């Protein structure tokens, strides 16, 4: 008898359902932060549905649904009839924890989630929907200081872990002076200078952001080792000299190719022999088919920027060589804010 072909697995829409309902997870997560659930359950506190209902001031049904939803997402553990924060929530979702991640979630929920409702408009017009070019100077031009504070807090939390991942794959003992271009509140300099005692660093950013960085520097007791220097890397004709390593972390995805090439030429002009530029980003593969974290961050750039997108390691390699860097290396990273670092070397 002829051999029978193996049975085929029927095609089901289950993956499409998971994609379509992804916002259920996000809004459950964001709502729990906004209502104060993880703060309520901090420090190992375990509460029943009834106790959560009473202490959050919500009715029993939504309390029951919220606890079940957060437990299903791995944010809560249940022991008997009591819910407690899972380790991930206890570490990152309790207010005032050192690496509080809730600011990032609240920023997305308040600013980006509403803007994504107009995503098709962004596709058709090639214009951001979180701000209005022409009416506002930049995406950071807002009358809501809390939104900006949430943004910088979330970027600091993400960047700390990217800096740690970078320190695992790149040896900074060969450098003495680090310039963090667009460095925000200073997560990279604080983390790297705390680990590499040979290193001092400067955050280069806009004046209001430098004030945030100085607060963080003071809290870390690294005055004299890390400083903040006002500047506009996009409009200033040159970057400051005197540094043998330059970091660009989650910067280049905000701009188009022409602007990025200009900035990389500025980096090359500022660096001495033996210097490096380190580009930390969520990198697309060279075929531009993934990974999803990089591709979807690129989609987010459509609603946040006028020309930004996520790029591949191959694209950065071409730009760096064209800018005069003599060798380029791409190393993987395991971090929420970057999956790789592209290193341009100066001979």
Q: Which residues are catalytic?
A: 253
DSSP tag of 109? I
Structure tokens at 190: 């604080």
* Helices 187-195/207-219 angle, 10° precision: 30
DSSP tag of 231? -
By C-alpha distance, which of 222, 230, 162, 152 is closest to 190? 222
Cβ neighbours, 10 Å, residue 284: 24
Q: What angle do CA 78, 107, 277 make, to 5 degrees?
A: 110
Distance between CA atoms of 325 and 347, rounded to whole angstroms? 8
By C-alpha distance, which of 305, 255, 304 is closest to 281? 255
Region of 44 please: left (phi>0), alpha (psi -120 to 50) or beta: left
């Amino acid at each position: 008898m002829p051999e029978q072909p193996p049975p085929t697995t029927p095609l089901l829409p289950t993956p499409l359902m998971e994609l379509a309902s992804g916002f259920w997870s996000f809004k459950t997560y964001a709502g729990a932060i906004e209502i104060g659930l993880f703060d309520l359950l901090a420090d190992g506190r375990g509460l029943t549905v009834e106790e959560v209902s009473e202490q959050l001031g919500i009715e029993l049904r939504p309390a029951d649904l919220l606890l079940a939803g957060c437990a299903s997402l791995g944010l809560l553990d249940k022991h008997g009839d009591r819910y407690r924060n899972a380790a991930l929530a206890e570490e990152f979702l309790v207010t005032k924890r050192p690496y509080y991640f809730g600011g990032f979630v609240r920023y997305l929920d308040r600013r980006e989630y509403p803007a994504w409702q107009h995503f098709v408009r962004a596709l058709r017009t090639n214009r951001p929907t979180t701000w209005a070019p022409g009416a506002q100077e930049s995406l950071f031009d807002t009358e809501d200081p809390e939104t900006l504070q949430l943004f910088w807090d979330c970027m600091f939390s993400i960047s700390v872990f990217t800096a740690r991942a970078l320190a695992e794959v790149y040896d900074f003992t060969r450098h003495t002076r680090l310039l963090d271009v667009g460095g925000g509140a200073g997560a990279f300099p604080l983390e790297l200078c705390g680990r590499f005692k040979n290193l001092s660093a400067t955050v280069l950013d806009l004046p209001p952001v430098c004030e945030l960085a100085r607060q963080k520097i003071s809290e870390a007791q690294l005055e004299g080792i890390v400083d903040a220097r006002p500047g506009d890397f996009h409009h200033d004709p040159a970057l400051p000299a005197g540094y043998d390593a330059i970091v660009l972390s989650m910067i280049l995805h905000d701009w188009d190719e022409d602007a990025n090439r200009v900035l990389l030429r500025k980096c090359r002009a500022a660096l001495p022999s033996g210097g490096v530029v380190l580009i930390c980003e969520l990198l697309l593969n060279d075929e531009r088919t993934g990974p999803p974290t990089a591709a979807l961050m690129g989609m987010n750039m459509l609603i946040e920027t006028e020309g930004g997108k996520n790029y591949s390691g191959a694209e950065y390699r071409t730009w760096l060589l064209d800018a005069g860097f003599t060798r380029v290396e791409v190393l993987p990273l395991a971090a929420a804010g970057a999956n790789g670092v592209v290193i341009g070397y100066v001979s």
